[in-house]
Every structure is written in structure tokens, then in C-alpha cells.
Amino acid sequence: MTARLTGRTALVTGAATGIGRAIADRFVAEGARVAYADRDADGARAAVSAAGPDALAVTMDIGDEASVEDGYAAVVSAGWQLDVVVANAGVQLFGHDAPIADLELATWRRTIDVNLTGTFLTVKHGVKALRAGGAGGSVILTGSPTALNGEGADFTAYSSSKAGMHGLARAVAAAYAPDGIRVNVVVPGYTETSLVSAISDDPEARAAIVGRIPLGRAGTPADVEGAMVFLASEDGAFATGAEFRVDGGMTTL
């Protein structure tokens, strides 16, 4: 069977670890060339070393527009024309995010700066890169159930940032459909990566959240890969402005 992404070129942010690394590795396995973009330059290089010759390490801090521009420029300098952009990088400030009456402005600003403004910058320059190719393409955002149901009283900044991302995706999908650029959101549920170690390392907190997942287990980065491949490939050619929930049923409750 032919790999589903053969001939495609993708950039994935937050690709040094976690969900981003899993997506980037799966894209390579499916035949794509992949730019592993991350603010952790050493981590990106290590991931690329393991992925092989169809991978490129790109240093990119999504909260800094100059860094984002430089990252995309590095892809162009390598002679690559992008077909797919995955805006996956983000932060979740456990222990600092809080109910709104207790939320520090610095925590709010840091969360919005990375998750929402960083996604805005990634998508802004990603759309420019896709339009330069003239053949459309796919933009995929990593969303969150917190954008849909306000999951958890202590996630005020995070929930707000992710809700903004979901709205951004719909607006960009509508604006750039005439250019053949599709924009969608994949919504992982509680997925155990280093980002959520504050929960996964606390047996009581972990049991509480897993207990609210109808399929009865935590998600893994591998659970998210298939939806990403679908949206990056021709199989998802008629999907845009949509949310694809890969959350074990969390948002059905």
C-alpha cells in the first residue's frame, strides 16, 4: 500500500517531544518530508537524527514573530515547498493557571502569548508559505476539550487560549478556502505527555480525569496521529473549518 503522504512536505511545531514528535514521526513514516520545528533546538535535532533523511530540524519560538519567519525561511532555504502546517506547540501552566478571581495577569499573558498568539503567527506565516506554492494545502491546529466544555476550574487561561484557537481556525478556513487551503482542528483528550506531568504524576488527579473518559483510559500521542494523517492527505480533501475529536468521549459527557 502506498504511504498516504508520499510527495508531501510538512512543518510541525512542538515537534521535539510529545504529541508533536509523534505526529512528525508518523508523517515521515507515511512518506512525507517533515520540518521538525521547536524552540528546543537540541531536541529538534535529536528527533531529526532518529527520523532520518526526510526530516529537517528548525529552530522556532512560536511566540516570537522573527523566529517564526526565520523558521519558515529555513524550510525554503532547504528547497522545500510546504503542503502541510501543523500548529501544535503550546503551554499549560499548571500550578499558575487558576479560577479567574485568583488568576495572575502574568499567567494569562504567557498562556495567551504562546497558545493563541503563537498559533496566530504559525498560521499567518504558514498560510503565506502555502499560498506561495499555489496548490493549496492543509493547516491543522491541535485544540483541546477545554475549548469546548471549560474542563477544570483551574484552566481559565488555557481554556480561553484554546477556545481562541478554535475560532481562529474557523475564520482562516473561511478566508482561504478559495485558495484551496483547508484549516481544521484536532482535539485530543487527556493525553499523557510531559506537558501534563502535573496530572499524570499525581495518582488521585489522574484517576479523577481518567474516570471521566468513557473509553476508560488516558490517551497517548499515537491516538492523535491517524486524524492528523487523514487531514494532511487527500483523504481529508473536503474537510475544512471542522473539529475532529480524539478524546475517548470526554466531550460527550
Architecture of the domain made up of 9-244: 3-Layer(aba) Sandwich (3.40)
Best CA proximity match to 10, nearest among 76, 84, 87? 84
Which residues lie below 8 Å from residue 190, measured CB to CB, with a gap of 6+? 145, 196, 199, 209, 210, 213, 218, 219, 247, 248, 250
Instruction: Report CA 74 to chain centroid distance, whole Å.
Output: 20
**HSE (CB half, 13 Å, CA atoms) of 4?**
15
C-alpha 4/C-alpha 32 separation (Å) is 9
Q: Where are the domains of the chain?
A: 9-244
Would you give per-residue pLDDT tens digits along the chain (253 residues)? Answer: 568 999 999 999 999 999 999 999 999 999 999 999 999 999 999 999 999 999 999 999 999 999 999 999 999 999 999 999 999 999 999 899 999 999 999 999 999 999 999 999 999 999 999 999 999 999 999 999 989 987 667 899 999 999 999 999 999 999 999 999 999 999 998 887 766 667 777 788 778 778 788 888 888 888 999 999 999 999 999 999 999 999 999 888 7
> Alpha-carbon distance 93 to 81, whole Å?
35
CA dist 15 and 34 (Å) reads 10
Q: What is the pTM of this model?
A: 0.93
> What residues act catalytically?
158
Chain CA centroid to CA 212, Å:
23
Q: Half-sphere exposure of residue 87, counting CA atoms within 13 Å on the CB side? A: 31
DSSP single-letter state for residue 179? G
Residue 4: its H or E element: none
